[in-house]
Amino acid sequence: MMPSLRQSRPVASKLPKLGKPVIAENNRPDKVEISQTKRSPSSPQGGAKKRAAFGDITNAHKNPQLLQKKKEGQKISTKKTKNVPTNDVTKNNELNIKKTQKKAIVTEEPLPELKEEKLSAEEKKSVTAKEIPEEKVLPPGVEDIDQDSLDDPFSNSEYAMDIFNYMRDREEKFLLPNYMEMQTDISKDMRAILVDWMVEVQENFELNHETLYLAVKMVDHYLAATVSMKEKLQLIGSTAVLIASKFEERCPPCVDDFMYICDDAYKRDEVVAMEMEILQKLNFDINIPVPYRFLRRFAKCAHATMETLTLARYICELTLQEYDFVQESASKMAAGCLLLALKMKGLGGWTATLQHYSGYQTKDLLPLVKRLNFLLTHPPNEKLKAVRGKYSHRVFFEVAKLPPMDVLTIEESLQS
């Protein structure tokens, strides 16, 4: 059993008791005025009463005797300010008023009539084309899968094609070379054992599948950029899961959790240093396209059930452990896994809709599908049971227990 996430919450300090509000007494003439702010009964902690924005412009409300005299019609003696020549002020005010009146007087001239612009027929067509957006034109036999699908941001009818075209363009940037040739202390079997352990981490921490795929991609790209030793291989894998969790998860596990699953073989400083090193080697660009996202979209094109999609995901997750599938692009891997799953379930082949949205034809996927079927029939290492055990559960429809197809049968079905 894996430990629960060790995220501690700070204990909230108790709020101080609110003091009793101080009620101001009625203003009496015999009461000596104290230079202290009066408390308002509406103030919760006896604070000064808030002044309105434009309410307290005058000071008349501060002297109730003055208001009483105004009501009774008595004459009020006002003190004039010294050294203020009132005559000059009034003269200046009159001059200013006259100047503003002169500026306000504007001769009303009739507006010139607008001339009608004569547009040619071609210009009118271009204007109407700009105002009215063009409708999506699809080839015959192709279904619009993005119509009225607003619940999923990756399937939004307005941006879905742009999103996945952008992901297809980024695939060219993240093509992996045969980096095992430069690794002197790491082998393919060591990498397979590491990925098998990362699958267990993803399952125990209940992380998203995108987190697992992204973490494996980051391990491959890091090993393609630097030569590493086998003693640090688990540190690289656990740190890659940590970075992918921060990128994909809403509540990622903390560093202490990853130190615990490594049996305290590494210190906190080593994990943080490896995190910085991986990000620097990848130039902080970790938005790597993964097959899991393409698989979801292609399954929508085929109207595949959840069981068929889970079977395709099982085949795709098996390829994470095998180094021979590292150089395949994410979109092509997703298309090949879905095509094999459709054939295993007897649900037909590659339709025109799948061909349009994936960009692959059946002949393009035939070699890959043969390799995937061979992987199901003859697993390279039977000791690695994390993926097979995971998809043997009834939550995943026990798709790992389905028998693989015969090689000749699948070749005939794909070529027909």
List the domains of the chain with CATH numbers.
Answer: 182-281 (1.10.472.10), 291-415 (1.10.472.10)
pLDDT per position as a tens digit, 161-175: 899 999 999 999 999
- 157-181 per-residue burial string, b: 16 or more CB within 10 A, e: under 16: eeebeeebeebbeeeeebeeeebee
Q: Which H or E run contains 18?
A: none
pTM of the model: 0.68
Rounded CA separation 290/313 (Å): 12
Q: What local confidence, expressed as pLDDT, does residue 138 receive?
A: 87
The pLDDT of residue 90 is above 70:
no
Rounded CA separation 313/338 (Å): 8
The more confident residue out of 80 and 292 is 292
Q: What local confidence, expressed as pLDDT, does residue 113 receive?
A: 52
What is the per-residue DSSP string for 128-193?
HHHHSPPPP---TT---TTTT--SSGGG-TTTHHHHHHHHHHHHGGG----GGGT-SS--HHHHHH
Q: What local confidence, expressed as pLDDT, does residue 125 receive?
A: 53
- Residue of 267, 269, 268, 218 whose CA lies nearest to 241: 218
The pLDDT of residue 48 is above 80:
no
- Structure token pair of residue 337: 């896994």
**Mean pLDDT computed over 232-236:** 96
Q: Quickly state the pLDDT bin for 231 (edges 50, 70, 90).
A: very high
Q: Quickly state the pLDDT bin for 197 (edges 50, 70, 90).
A: very high
The pLDDT of residue 71 is above 90:
no
The pLDDT of residue 344 is above 70:
yes
Q: What local confidence, expressed as pLDDT, does residue 66 receive?
A: 54
**Up-side HSE of residue 41: CA atoms within 13 Å toward CB?**
4
**Mean pLDDT computed over 308-326:** 97
- Structure token pair of residue 243: 């970075």
The more confident residue out of 140 and 210 is 210
Taking all residues of the chain, what is their mean pLDDT, rounded to a whole number? 79
**Mean pLDDT computed over 199-224:** 97
Rounded CA separation 87/57 (Å): 26
Rounded CA separation 202/342 (Å): 27
**Mean pLDDT computed over 316-321:** 97
Give me the helix-helix angle, 362-377 and 330-344, nearest 10°.
70
Q: What local confidence, expressed as pLDDT, does residue 246 receive?
A: 97
**Mean pLDDT computed over 386-411:** 93
Q: Quickly state the pLDDT bin for 261 (edges 50, 70, 90).
A: very high
Q: Quickly state the pLDDT bin for 307 (edges 50, 70, 90).
A: very high
| Of 61-65, 80-84, 368-372, highest mean pLDDT | 368-372
The pLDDT of residue 40 is above 80:
no
The pLDDT of residue 316 is above 90:
yes
Residues for the chain: how many in total? 416
Q: What local confidence, expressed as pLDDT, does residue 206 receive?
A: 95
Q: Looking at the DSSP assignment, which residues form a beta bridge with residue 48?
A: 39
Question: Which of 38-52, 113-127, 168-182, 301-315 bottoms out in mean pLDDT, i.e. has the lowest?
Answer: 38-52
The pLDDT of residue 124 is above 60:
no
What is the per-residue DSSP string for 186-218?
--HHHHHHHHHHHHHHHHHTT--HHHHHHHHHH
Q: What local confidence, expressed as pLDDT, does residue 363 receive?
A: 93
The more confident residue out of 96 and 270 is 270
Q: Quickly state the pLDDT bin for 137 (edges 50, 70, 90).
A: confident
Q: What local confidence, expressed as pLDDT, does residue 411 receive?
A: 85
Query: Apex CA 246: angle with CA 233 and CA 218, to 5°?
Result: 35
Q: What local confidence, expressed as pLDDT, does residue 226 receive?
A: 96
Rounded CA separation 384/321 (Å): 9
Q: Quickly state the pLDDT bin for 26 (edges 50, 70, 90).
A: very low
Rounded CA separation 286/246 (Å): 11
Q: What local confidence, expressed as pLDDT, does residue 413 receive?
A: 85
Q: Quickly state the pLDDT bin for 408 (edges 50, 70, 90).
A: confident
Question: Which of 36-50, 126-140, 224-238 bottoms out in mean pLDDT, i.e. has the lowest?
Answer: 36-50
The pLDDT of residue 57 is above 60:
no
